[in-house]
Amino acid sequence: MNRTGRIFLAALAGAAVLLFPVVTTTPYYIHTVLMVFLFATMGLGWNLIGGYGAQLSLGHSTFFAIGAYSAVLLMVNYEISPLVGGIVGMVLACGAAVVIGLPCFRLRGPYFCLATIAAGEIARILFLHFQEFTGGANGVPLPFHGDDILTLQFSSKAPYYYLALGLLVAVFVLVRWMEKAKIGRYLAAIREDQDAAESLGVRTDRVKLIAYVLSAAITAAAGVLYAFTVGYIDPDGVASLNLSIEIAVVVIVGGIGTLWGPVLGATVVVLLTELTNMYLGSLRSGASLVLYGLLLIVVVVARPKGLISLFDRAPAASLPKQVGTRVHVA
């Protein structure tokens, strides 16, 4: 496809995304696309550490939960606007990322992954345990006080849709910039060979921590928006291992360590699960997750570089066994 054709297609896609809530009035459809945006955002954030840095984290729901709980509790208990509470949540998530990251980054491979699972589960247990504060397993409902941008409450789904879209675009631009910046190159070096990077003077622990903290902040921001869109949060919904897994799966299905991978992955995974729920959900629960599990298996076995690799212009000639021995600069 030539350049004009691509620009035309991009403009068409952009217009479709912008006009979608105007064309359809079914809240369910708007909500579904909104969830695509949120998962794409979280995927982009996760990719910073999980993809570019190759540190497989399965504990990101903790940051999502910290963002969601901070904003909701500050609003419900102290009437502090989620615009402020959201920032508080993001800062707290960054703090948690430092506390979790500092010890965990000394671990490698499966050990790092298992440690993030343990940290995430500890956070979930604590959210469940401190009931006076978090409402425990019952969760926290968000009473509706009428449309107001300061309280992030709207009777229609459309404003949330545009907020989520805005967040996605902002994070996308940030990650695109980071890919080309110094930190992106350091992360790529760590992914290829951590010891070599270290010997070349890259302070690997610090680089990984920066990427992890940023990715936590992005995940927390998505958590804030999710909480106010849905109007209810509970530990099993926002702090679960399943959510952590889903964030990672979105990126893996789309294409790990690529810019468009998380966006494509979120689109495929969320639409697939929602569509199966819609058409087969009445049959029996579980159908959508069967497909989701199968998709993950098929991608790992047959398309380890994700679905995005289907769009590669030049099919990579037989790759060496260790994928990518060169350092990606751009």
Task: Tell me if 65 contacts other proteins by CB under 8 A.
Answer: no
- Rg (alpha carbons) of the chain, rounded to whole number: 20
The nearer residue to other proteins, 21 or 53, going by C-beta atoms, is 53
Minimum distance between the CB of residue 175 and other proteins, rounded to whole angstroms?
20
Q: Of residues 47, 59, 121, 212, which one binds other proteins by CB under 8 A?
A: 121
Of the candidate residues 2, 5, 284, 326, the single one contacting other proteins (CB under 8 A): 284
Six token digits for residue 107: 């671990």
What is the DSSP secondary structure assignment for residue 48, as one 8-state letter? I
Considering only 59-67, 87-95, 123-131, 140-148, which stretch makes contact with other proteins by CB under 8 A? Answer: 123-131
Q: Which segment (84-92, 100-108, 173-181, 265-273) binds other proteins by CB under 8 A?
A: 100-108
- Note whether 10 and 136 are within 8 A (CB): no
Alpha helices in the chain (DSSP H): 3-23, 27-47, 61-78, 82-104, 109-129, 131-134, 158-180, 182-192, 194-199, 204-230, 235-238, 241-254, 261-280, 287-302
Closest CA relative to residue 274, chosen from 77, 39, 88: 39
With 0-12 / 13-18 / 19 or more C-beta atoms within 10 angstroms meaning exposed / middle / buried, residue 29 is middle
Q: Name the residue nearer to other proteins (CB basis): 19 or 300.
A: 300
119 lies in the site for other proteins, by CB under 8 A: yes
Identify residue 155 by its one-letter amino acid code: S
Rounded CA gap, 144 and 75, in Å?
Answer: 11
Binding other proteins by CB under 8 A: which of 159, 287, 303, 324?
A: 287
Which of the ranges 26-34, 103-111, 219-227, 258-266 carries the binding residues for other proteins, by CB under 8 A? Answer: 103-111
Residue 137 or 200: the one with the smaller Cβ distance to other proteins is: 137
Considering the rule CB under 8 A, would residue 247 count as an interface residue with other proteins?
no
Contacting positions for other proteins (CB under 8 A): 54, 56, 103, 106-107, 109-111, 113-115, 117-119, 121-122, 125-126, 128-129, 245, 248-249, 252, 284-287, 289-290, 292-297, 300-301, 304, 321
